[in-house]
Structure 1
Amino acid sequence: MSVLEVKDLRVSVETEQGTKEILKGVDLSIAEGEIHAIMGPNGSGKSTLAYTIAGHPKYHVEGGSVTLDGVEVLTMSVDERARAGLFLAMQYPVEIPGVTVSNFLRTAKTAIAGEAPALRPWLKEVKEAMTDLRMDKAFSERNVNEGFSGGEKKRHEILQLELLKPKFAILDETDSGLDVDALKIVSEGVNRAKDNTGLGLLLITHYTRILRYIKPDFVHVFVDGRVAEEGGPELADRLEDEGYDRYVSTTGVA
């Protein structure tokens, strides 16, 4: 069974005021097939954790480790992390003018698999995934994220997830900006990916509404760069009722 493990991870970032410590010793273990939800107030370090695991150069690892099946991830380049089985659905996907969705997807699949997929089965797989996500077939000929609505960007992220079949996926506020219908469609795609491949999932969110459709096995409350509390799905329900005030007051986070 595959395991993604974070141990005592400490991360800083450069700001106009100097070096700022964001993550202050994070411990987290995700096994294949598990869904872990990370919830917490703004500025608590949730996205920093996501981008550090993915390899964003903005974030400087000061200590700790991130391992995938016992192999250190932090020494890998971004593309090596992707080939090892890591996937990040970004909160704000970037536009790539001049690159169509169809070319982007096949190039990404080729880079991860080490060889180009056979064209006919690949096109069939793409078509089926797009149909499941209620995406018009003309979508594949548009430039990546250029002029996309918020919902289209998030569906495209989940389309990648279903086609690239990683071992572990990090979804950074995938529910942000989605209406109820789009949220259901995106959630269905995530659940399909998990059911079909045994995907391990790290789901970052502020709100419990996505957790009605993607049921977490574990919930972690993230405050001031640390995991302040852990529990099962009932913890998310409590956060819905109580908010984060009791954590913020004890840590001094604004």
Structure 2
Amino acid sequence: MSVLEIKNLHVNVETDQGTREILRGVDLVINEGEIHAVMGPNGSGKSTLAYTIAGHPKYHVTEGQILLDGEDVLAMTVDERARAGLFLAMQYPVEIPGVTVTNFLRTAKTAIDGEAPAIRGWIKDVRESMSNLKMDPAFAERNVNEGFSGGEKKRNEILQLELLKPRFAVLDETDSGLDVDALKIVSEGVNRAKANTGLGILLITHYTRILRYIKPDFVHVFVAGRIAEQGGPELADRLEDEGYDRYQVAETAAAE
């Protein structure tokens, strides 16, 4: 069984005001097939965790480890992390002019698997996944995310998730900017990918609405770069009623 382990992770970022510590000792273990929801107020370090796992050069790990089945993720380049089975669905997917969706997907699949997928089967898989996500087949020949709406970009992220079949997926606020119908379609895609491959999921969100469709096994509350509390799905329900104020008050008191 695959496992993604985050141990005592400390991360800095350079700002106009100097070096700032964002993550201050994060411990988290995600087993294959588990869904972990990370919730918390703005600026608590949720997205920093996502981009650190993916290998964004802006974020500097000063202490701690990230291990994938015992292998040192921090020693891997970004593409090595992808080939090892890590996937990031970005909060703000970028446009790639001049590269069509179908070429991007096939190139990525070839890089991950070490060989190109058979054309006939690959075309069938792409069409089926696009149909499931209610994407117009014409999008396959459009440049990646160029001129896409916010919802279309998010569906394209989940299309990649379904076709590339990673071992662990980090979903960074995949629900942001989605209307109810798009949220349901995207959530169904995530659940379908999990059912088909047994991948582990780290789901970062501000809101509980996506958790009505993607049911977490564990919920972690991030405050000021640390996990302030963790529990089961009931914790998310409590957060919807109470918000994050009590955690922030406690953090402020501790800092004083």
Local SS of the residue matching 2:147: coil
- The CA distance in 2 between the partners of 1:14 and 1:146, in whole Å, is 30
Flag structure 2 segments of 5+ consecutive residues without an equivalent.
none
Displacement after TM superposition at 1:200 (Å): 0.2
Are 1:156 and 2:161 counterparts?
no
Alignment of 1:50-61 (within 5 A): 50-61=50-61
Residues 118-150 of structure 1 show CA distances to partners (whole Å, capped at 9, x for unaligned) of 100000000000000000110101110111100
Displacement after TM superposition at 1:83 (Å): 0.5
Alignment of 1:62-141 (within 5 A): 62-141=62-141
Local SS of the residue matching 1:135: coil
Displacement after TM superposition at 1:59 (Å): 0.2
The two structures have a TM-score, normalised by structure 2, of 0.98
Equivalent residue, structure 1, for 2:180: 180
The two structures have a TM-score, normalised by structure 1, of 0.99
- The CA distance in 2 between the partners of 1:149 and 1:251, in whole Å, is 38
Displacement after TM superposition at 1:206 (Å): 0.2
Local SS of the residue matching 2:64: strand
Displacement after TM superposition at 1:48 (Å): 0.2
Local SS of the residue matching 1:87: strand
Alignment of 1:1-80 (within 5 A): 1-80=1-80
- The CA distance in 2 between the partners of 1:93 and 1:135, in whole Å, is 16
AA in 1 matched with 2:61: V
Flag structure 1 segments of 5+ consecutive residues without an equivalent.
none
- The CA distance in 1 between the partners of 2:41 and 2:70, in whole Å, is 31
Displacement after TM superposition at 1:55 (Å): 0.2
- The CA distance in 1 between the partners of 2:85 and 2:104, in whole Å, is 18
- The CA distance in 1 between the partners of 2:245 and 2:35, in whole Å, is 25
Displacement after TM superposition at 1:229 (Å): 0.2
Equivalent residue, structure 1, for 2:243: 243
Local SS of the residue matching 1:230: strand
Local SS of the residue matching 2:74: coil
Equivalent residue, structure 1, for 2:225: 225
- The CA distance in 2 between the partners of 1:17 and 1:179, in whole Å, is 37
Output the aligned Cα RMSD.
Answer: 0.7
Single out whichever of 138-147 and 244-253 deviates more from structure 2: 244-253
Residues 148-185 of structure 1 show CA distances to partners (whole Å, capped at 9, x for unaligned) of 10000000000000000000000000000000000000
AA in 1 matched with 2:95: E
AA in 1 matched with 2:67: T
Local SS of the residue matching 2:220: strand
Displacement after TM superposition at 1:102 (Å): 0.5
AA in 2 matched with 1:2: S
In the TM superposition, structure 1's runs of 4+ consecutive aligned residues that sit over 4 Å from their partners are none
- The CA distance in 1 between the partners of 2:229 and 2:250, in whole Å, is 12
- The CA distance in 1 between the partners of 2:140 and 2:194, in whole Å, is 24
Equivalent residue, structure 1, for 2:147: 147
Local SS of the residue matching 1:188: helix
Displacement after TM superposition at 1:243 (Å): 0.1
Residues 65-84 of structure 1 show CA distances to partners (whole Å, capped at 9, x for unaligned) of 00000111000000000000
Local SS of the residue matching 1:74: helix
- The CA distance in 1 between the partners of 2:73 and 2:133, in whole Å, is 31
Local SS of the residue matching 2:215: coil
